[in-house]
A and B are shown apart, each in its own frame.
Chain A
């Protein structure tokens, strides 16, 4: 399969791969390895501000195709300094276009989104 330059870059560098630990860290997981895609986000959350919880830093783990890894890495990289809202830094369809993800792989990006939403939901409960 041919990958876009952006996908290749983020797949190869995989910035923010890893985990976070501490009382100020929340996690969100989606997907299943036996089904081929699994993603986890760890978010370090700043104390609640007027605009709600803020993300200080983010890490990800991903078992999946290069598109899944690249998009998860990009999302984690973009997260720092953003509010911990359920919305991804870019909507799934925009991410699909940016990374030139084949439409039949849309489901894999939805797993990334589900993991993100699970993490931000956990942040909202803190």
Chain B
């Protein structure tokens, strides 16, 4: 199974860390990660052709949505590792601190930087995290879902704290993410316990059966559903559980932010969909109002707060919150159309987010990445191609036609509309209009402003990053003009096995 490939690659990665001489480690780890992702992807393709199955004594479901999301996660993780492997822009180092345990600003750190020590633990950590992300949308019972949640989260907490520059900020982000994430996990587990108490099983299909069979004790069930929703909505960054997003996105190394923003959201939405559609579909009239409220709050708060941001990474963080809101509009419809539109949206969203964050890594000044928006002024004059690429990603996020973002928006709003959530669509289009303002503001800044006197330089990346960004930009355009194949794929995949 693809998950086993990725997780065992992670284990091998740990062994490599332990026994391989330091100078070969980086190459080996990168190669190992890339090979593992390719192998996993091939395996996913093979599975996709076969019949669906529920494996591991019923606790893992390999069905359309799971495979679609796993495939998307593996592809995005592959590109993320290309970005992680970038060594040219930091003069021999990569984006991570040479040793995460060295004190920021200490003599030890200085020596490590001088010796160009490369930290390679990120790769096994990434592999474990990806393994968890692949398991998350496939988890067919609440305990496996919780385990997957932890497997994907714990390595991410570490990855967030490993930035090479601005390490204190990065460590603060990691701690914040860890504390809040631990809370959210605890909520999820607590909720799972309640639901177990109600249904007598943690298996999703049996919870579903229990919903139709039993009456009474609704309080226990609803409390459980609410608590589990908190845990999952935290991971997708929905309002009011979004407060960690901007700080963590800003503090984490930008490559990790991109990885996290793209892949975690896919995995968490997969789990959210499976939990609410498979296990709690019978209870939809009870949780739909809650999701309506969350969707509206997420769109409105995400967009309005994004308007005031002056830091590129924070702005993208709020924009990712808003995108979670757009996806939630379709979520409340609870049908196959909604499922396929969400799958499509997630795939396109992952690509453009990853691409946008990768561009951010390239705009640098003496202190590392120049993330303050004022420094981006006039970038279009100095490096038109880079600015145009970033502009493309922004336009895609704003949902301008002929980009993948437009097709994504069209499909989710369509699903929401046909699911009877017309007010959500209206809020969605209105907030989209407001969102266009801050996306376009960055474009104005890049293309129409005079360059700042001491503006940042644009680093010339290695082919790794260039290829990654180019692929992302190409996919954004191609999926905007010819989304047919991916839409068909999402449509065919949009049936949960029970």
A and B bind: no
Which of A's residues lie within 8 Å of B, judged by CB?
A: none
